[in-house]
Amino acid sequence: MIDPQSADVSKVTASLVRDARSLLRRADKLASAVTAADDTTTTQSAATARDAVEQLVHQLVHLQQSQQRRTREAIRRGGAGMMRS
């Protein structure tokens, strides 16, 4: 049986991934717009922020995949136990 709290965590993680990807799209737009300002410090700050958001997306996707893998393994273990009965 799947733990109900795990299902809630996976939903929260999926929501965080969506939000982070949305933020990354906005950071991309901001970085593009800032290049027109012709200020190296501002351009570098925008690029640093975009890189940080990209890393966050990567980490959240990795977390989501790990949670999905654990869920699949739990289902397989639970299903295998039911088949033996």
Percent of the chain with pLDDT over 70: 84
Using the predicted structure, report yes or no on whether residue 12 has a pLDDT greater than 70: yes
Instruction: Check if the beta carbon of residue 16 is closer than 8 Å to that of residue 60.
Output: yes
Per-residue pLDDT, 69:
94
pTM score of the predicted model: 0.77
| Rounded CA separation 18/20 (Å) | 6
Tally of domains in the chain: 1
Question: Can you tell me whether residue 28 is helix, strand or coil?
Answer: helix
| Rounded CA separation 76/50 (Å) | 39
- pLDDT confidence band for 47 (50 / 70 / 90): very high
Residue 11 sits in which domain range? 4-84
- pLDDT confidence band for 36 (50 / 70 / 90): confident
- Ramachandran category for residue 2: left, alpha or beta (phi over 0 → left; psi -120 to 50 → alpha): beta
